[in-house]
């Protein structure tokens, strides 16, 4: 049979297609059933991918959490969380228990500084919101900074004003001197042990004299003050050489000494007022003259403190708890809880155990901060035993 369509010659134009010639397909054979193909929507395939992605992310998070919680990373995170500063409200939310049948022991150990003052204020804030039947302050401190001591004293006074019927009893440990006594003076009753060192009611200032060092290295300190504050010049000359080669006070030394003495005397007056007010209010047999006679800076041990009327009784912590419970009418077997300052985290301990500062790695700002801290005047209610 001959091909109805003649072969196309090379280079010849393609003939037009007849739409009616071959467009109709032949009919299907008898009994033929066409196959049915179901096409899923595109969105379904996308949702499946999303679910798989979420499952993968959940698996990754689960593995990460397990590593962080149970692996070595958790140790570092725990240390950082315990040492890093935490943001919080000025007055944190606190839910009181309403249990007034307990005796709460507030422990204070170590130097009175900003950290201990913050802990102490927070402890008494909580007690003010959730008052117990009685408070026992366990003090084992040789004192510390004037400002921190006064802040802690204020916390005790504020609690007393809010809850005048709650007795406050103090138990002295091995040492409760200077600032340690300052914060205890408002108490209703004070116990000390037979070997307790207390007293040391006075103020001192620690300050370096850098004049010789400055001259040795050829440095010149020029102080310029505003016209309206001429006394500022004396305050800024505190670190110059006070004495001449013969050991006599120079004029600069005399001026500086007057500045420091004025600050010390005012701080001592405050200390004496705290002691007189607190002790005479607690015991009508104690007079202001008694306290003035004891407030010479002298250190008293055990019974000496009792004879000087700085304490009310020789006894230990269990004696103080029993006395507080009796005063609060809580019976002979009260519930006793204790508030203690939390220990620093592992990272803080590791950093604290460092033997010193590597000056090779100190920046300029850090060095200036170190120098400023080393040369600052510190007024202290503190007993120092070397």
Question: What phi and psi, each to the nearest 5 degrees, are found at residue 263?
Answer: -65, -45
pLDDT at 236: 57
Check the CA dihedral 302-303-306-307 and report its sign: negative
Per-residue pLDDT of the chain (386 residues), as tens digits, is 555 555 555 555 666 655 555 555 666 666 655 554 444 444 455 555 555 655 555 555 454 444 444 445 444 445 445 555 556 555 556 667 777 788 999 999 999 999 999 999 999 999 999 999 999 999 999 888 889 999 999 999 999 999 999 999 999 999 999 999 999 999 999 999 999 999 988 877 766 555 555 556 556 666 666 766 666 665 555 556 677 777 787 777 777 778 778 888 898 899 999 999 999 999 989 999 999 999 998 999 999 999 999 999 999 999 999 999 999 999 888 899 999 887 654 434 333 334 444 545 656 665 555 555 554 556 666 665 54
pLDDT at 346: 41
For tokens 């507080």, what's the residue?
Answer: 324
Contact 119, 141 (CB under 8 A): no
Both tokens assigned to 11: 């280079």
Alpha carbon 357 to its chain's center: 22
**Complete domains list, the chain, with CATH:** 98-343+375-386 (3.90.226.10)
pTM over 0.85: no
Distance (Å, rounded) from C-alpha 170 to C-alpha 336?
15
pLDDT at 308: 95
User: What is the number of other CB atoms lying within 10 angstroms of the CB of residue 74?
Assistant: 14
200: left (phi over 0), alpha (psi -120 to 50) or beta: left
pLDDT at 94: 64
pLDDT at 238: 57
Q: How far is CA 35 from CA 8, 38, 39, 267, 348, in A?
A: 39, 10, 13, 102, 75
Distance (Å, rounded) from C-alpha 70 to C-alpha 339?
30
Distance (Å, rounded) from C-alpha 67 to C-alpha 83?
22
pLDDT at 9: 59
| DSSP-assigned states of every residue in 185-254 | TT-SEEEE-TT-EEE----EEE----HHHHHHTT--------TT-TTHHHHHTTTS--B-TTSPBPHHHH
Tell me whether strands 143-145 and 134-141 are parallel, antiparallel or unpaired. unpaired
């Amino acid at each position: 049979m001959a091909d109805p369509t003649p072969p196309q010659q090379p280079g010849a134009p393609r003939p037009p297609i007849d739409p009616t010639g071959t467009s109709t397909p032949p009919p299907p054979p008898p009994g033929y059933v066409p196959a049915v193909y179901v096409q899923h929507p595109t969105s379904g395939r996308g949702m499946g991918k999303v679910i798989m992605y979420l499952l993968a992310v959940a698996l990754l998070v689960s593995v990460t959490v397990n590593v962080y919680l149970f692996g070595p990373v958790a140790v570092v995170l725990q240390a950082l969380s315990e040492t890093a500063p935490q943001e919080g409200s000025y007055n944190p939310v606190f839910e009181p228990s309403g249990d007034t049948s307990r005796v709460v022991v507030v422990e204070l150990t170590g130097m009175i500084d900003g950290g201990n003052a913050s802990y102490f204020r927070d402890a008494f804030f909580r007690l003010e919101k959730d008052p117990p039947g009685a408070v026992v302050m366990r003090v084992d401190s040789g004192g510390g900074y004037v400002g921190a001591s006064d802040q802690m004293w204020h916390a005790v006074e504020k609690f007393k004003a809010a809850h005048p019927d709650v007795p406050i009893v103090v138990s002295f440990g091995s040492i409760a001197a200077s600032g340690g006594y300052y914060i205890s003076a408002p108490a209703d009753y004070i116990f000390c042990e037979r070997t307790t060192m207390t007293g040391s009611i006075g103020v001192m200032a620690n300050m370096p004299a850098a004049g010789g060092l400055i001259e040795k290295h050829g440095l010149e300190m020029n102080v310029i003050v505003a016209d309206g504050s001429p006394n500022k010049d004396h305050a800024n000359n505190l670190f110059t050489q006070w004495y001449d080669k013969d050991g006599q006070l120079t004029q600069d030394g005399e001026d500086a000494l007057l500045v420091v003495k004025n600050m010390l005397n005012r701080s001592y007056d405050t200390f004496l007022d705290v002691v007189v007010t607190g002790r005479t209010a607690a015991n009508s047999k104690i007079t202001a003259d008694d306290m003035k006679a004891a407030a010479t800076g002298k250190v008293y041990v055990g019974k000496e403190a009792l004879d000087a009327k700085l304490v009310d009784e020789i006894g230990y912590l269990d004696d103080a708890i029993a006395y507080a419970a009796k005063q609060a009418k809580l019976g002979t077997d009260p519930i006793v809880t204790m508030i203690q300052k939390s220990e620093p985290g592992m990272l803080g301990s590791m950093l604290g155990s460092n033997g010193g500062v590597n000056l090779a790695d100190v920046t300029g700002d850090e060095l200036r901060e170190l120098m400023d801290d080393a040369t600052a005047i510190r007024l202290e209610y503190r007993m120092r035993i070397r």
